[in-house]
Structure 1
Amino acid sequence: MLNKIDHFAVGADTLAQGVSAMKDALGVEVPRGSKHDAMSTHNCVMQAGNESFFELIAIDPDAPDPGRVRWFTLDDPATQARLKERPQALCWVVNTSDLDAVIAASPVDLGEIVNFQRGDRSWRLTVPKDGHLPEGGLLPAFIEWSPGPHPSTGQQDLGVKLDAVRISTPDTSRLQGIFDALDISHLAEISEGPSALSFALRSPNGEVILD
């Protein structure tokens, strides 16, 4: 398997709230991206270096009910309450060359594989049916793209680069074991502490930690 960071997501109560907060934090205005019809969410995106991208995601207020629980805990009242206070690091996504092998190797349930299509590009993504984030977001979702250039190549480069995905957990040995089984230990920094996810970025405003 070839695994690398695909993108990382900051959740927001609304995209307007998120864009404003990211402009203050990073010194850039994250451009509008697209809609996810299957989940009734929408996003803003920009390049983040090494064929990865930054995603600001929120529930689309103009979209119909998706008929299922939205991804990334966006329907969870606790998540919604946190995002009303401020945008927060929500999850990270790993690009894999063999999603079926990832599922087979995983010692924990990563969710079902859901197929998505936009234009002539398609992708497969792990999405738990109940919308939860595996290990509370400490584990990534996994994505496998159809052949073609990575989507980040068509996004704007505004000078924001991902330096590190940082994870803290009270049980580092357990989480490290899962990471080793999934072949993603090289993609994130794990330290001991309360469960938390953060993204270390370089930006026009300097070094920024989004948590």
Structure 2
Amino acid sequence: MSPAVLDHLVIAARTLEEGRAWLEGRLEVPLQPGGEHHRFGTRNALLSLGPGAYLEVLAVNPQAPVPPRPRWFGLDTPPLREGLEGGPRLIHWVARVETLRGLDLTPFGEALPLARGENHWTLTVPPDGSLPGGGVRPSLIEWHTSPPPTRLPDAGVRLLRLTLGTPDPDSLRVLLDTLRFEGEVEVREAPQAELSALLETREGLVTL
């Protein structure tokens, strides 16, 4: 199995407009249009983090019908909704694998075939829509078309380090070792699940 790598970061917001304004204000670069995720009733905007990774701002699409299953990334849960009242925030990350076949997906959820415009991929999503490991355990993605970073304009933003705090760091390290994960990810002990990303921009360093 080829090593897993970081595919993208997920920032959630109450509305896409609020999320875009918040992140563009922090990074001083424009986000690119994303699209709608009809299966989960969400929409996003995107930003390149270089040739191999990107960042998405994700929010519920108020014009979309309520999906028949819980939305992904915990967007339907009261704790996350209450947390977003304080503003957008980094909630999750996604690791890219060459193939999901042969992997034990028990810690990640079910593999769902998904599409948005020209993009086609398979993503692991827990049946209840919860954030795996409170957000620190990655969702896994297998792309069937070229990943977004291959088409996004380079905004000069790079991820220097993703820090994952968890009450059980050893288990998370074992999980990443099982995936043969390679990337700038630091796992540390924390009272509860928490994420922070250190980004390098043309204007200096920014922590999300």
TM over 0.5: same fold?
Answer: yes
Out of 150, 161, 180, the position equivalent to 1:153 is: 150
**Is residue 198 from structure 1 mapped to residue 191 from structure 2 by the alignment?**
no
Cα deviation digits, residues 9-45 of structure 1 (max 9, x gap) = 1111111111111122111221221110111000000
Cα drift, residue 66 of structure 1: 1.2
SS in 2 for 1:199: strand
Q: Any unmatched runs of 5+ in structure 2?
A: none
Residue in structure 2 matched with residue 177 of structure 1 by the alignment = 174
Could you say which residue in structure 2 is the equivalent of 1:40?
Answer: 41
- 1:23: which partner in 2? 24
Q: Aligned partners of 2:48 and 2:37: how far apart in 1?
A: 19
Query: Mapping of 1:39-188 within 5 angstroms?
Result: 39-102=40-103, 104=104, 108-119=106-117, 121-146=119-144, 148-184=145-181, 186-188=183-185
Unmatched 5+ residue regions in structure 1? none
SS at match of 1:80: helix
Structure 2 residue 186 is the aligned partner of structure 1 residue 189 = yes
Please give the per-residue CA displacement for 1:182-210, whole angstroms capped at 9, x wherever unaligned: 22264511122233111111123311111
Sequence identity of aligned pairs in percent?
35
Could you tell me how far apart the structure 1 residues matched to 2:118 and 2:17 are? 29
| Partner Cα distance (1:62, 1:200) in 2 | 34
Conserved 8 A contact 1:176-1:185: no
**What is the distance in 2 between the residues matched to 1:154 and 1:203?**
19
The one-character-per-residue Cα deviations of 1:140-176 (angstroms, maximum 9, x if unpaired) are 1000011x43221211222211112111223322221
Q: Which amino acid aligns with 1:193?
A: A
Shift of 1:109: 2.4
Give the secondary-structure state (helix, strand or coil) at the position aligned to 2:73. coil
- Following superposition, the deviation at residue 101 of structure 1 comes to 2.7
Moved over 6 A (4+): none
| Equivalent pair of 1:20/1:29 in contact (CA under 8 Å) | no
- What is the aligned-residue RMSD (CA, Å)? 1.7
SS at match of 2:74: coil
CA 168–185 in structure 1, closer or farther in 2 if over 3 Å, else same: farther
Tell me, in whole angstroms, the C-alpha distance in 1 between the residues paired with 2:12 and 2:154. Answer: 20
Number of residue equivalences? 206
- Distance, in Å, in 1 between the alignment partners of 2:182 and 2:167 is 17
Paired residue type of 1:8: L
Contact 1:25/1:205 (<8 A) preserved: no
C-alpha separation between the residues in 1 aligned to 2:114 and 2:141? 10
Secondary structure, in 3 states, of the residue corresponding to 1:25?
A: helix
Q: Which has the higher helix share?
A: 1
The TM-score, its normalising length taken from structure 2, stands at 0.92
